[in-house]
Amino acid sequence: MRALLQRVSEARVSVGGEVIGEIGPGLMILVCAMQGDTEASAEALAAKTAKLRIFRDDAGKMNRSLLDTGAAALVVSQFTLAADTSRGNRPGFSAAAPPDEGERLYAHFCDCLRAQGIAVATGAFGADMDVALINQGPVTVWLESPG
């Protein structure tokens, strides 16, 4: 699985003009299940995400995690993270998991974060969404779980 994490002071996702998920301080997480990913992939990515030390401590150093801060996560499915741009100018997305498998692994990733005590808001899988966020820092980190 792949994820793009952005440390935010706030973030929200809307579908059809209606806000369906929002958080204050925390992480905006765009996540994509890839071909061959398993529940173990989602579990590993969620564990890494929860423990990643990208929030400031009292000394101003990035030394605290979602778990340490009690911050929330807004998790949005993003199959375009599977984009292959190696040939031509039109990205290919064949490396992404099929939609039913992607949705199952996306939900499992969210459940794994919740199981660790993290407040999780979500987008709507497969929907045309509008995402708004204020990237704090800015801090943006790319993660991949082992297949």
Positions annotated as catalytic residues are 78-80
Residue whose C-alpha is closest to residue 96's, from 77, 75, 120: 77
Please name the residue that has the structure tokens 């590993």. 44
Neighbours of 38 (CB within 10 A): 16
Q: What is the DSSP string of 40-97?
A: HHHHHHHHHHHH---EE-TTSSEEE-HHHHT-EEEEEE-GGGG-B-SSSSS-B-TTBP
Residue 19, phi-psi category: left (phi > 0), alpha (psi -120 to 50), beta (remainder): beta
* Three-point CA angle 24, 1, 42, nearest 5°: 75
